[in-house]
Amino acid sequence: MPPVKLVYCRECDAVSSLATLEREACRTCGRPAARVDLARPWQYWAAIGVILAGSGILFLTYIPQIQVRFLVLLPFLAFGLFLSTWGMRVLKDRALDAGRARTKKGKT
């Protein structure tokens, strides 16, 4: 699985997340930015596990009403979304630290 594409802009001191085929440029100012490759945090994998667990519960139990099925799945989806959002914040913070360290090394 390819890593999340994050770029660090030294002009803005900001991190942008980009789609795989987007050019490596800052979303804030549009200037070229340096790519930062990091491993996915544990929150990403936990979010996948939570959503799969909720789906598994629905497949293994017999609940004929679609509304009740949705209500059973909703907490799993909400918690999975929480974990994935948290993971993205952690990843962007790590990318910001790595970009700043790389810039500091380059200047000295």
Domain ranges of the chain: 5-107
Helix (H, G, I), strand (E, B) or coil at 88: helix
Q: pLDDT, tens digit, for every residue of 21-49?
A: 888 998 888 899 999 988 899 999 999 99
DSSP letters for 9-53: ETTTTEEEEE-TTS-SB-TTT--B-EEE--PPPHHHHHHHHHHHH
- C-alpha distance from residue 46 to each of 1, 26, 73, 87 (Å): 16, 29, 16, 9
User: Quick one: tokens of 2?
Assistant: 């390819």
> What global pTM score does this model have?
0.80
Q: Each residue of 49-104: pLDDT tens digit?
A: 999 999 999 899 988 898 999 999 999 999 999 999 999 999 999 999 999 998 88
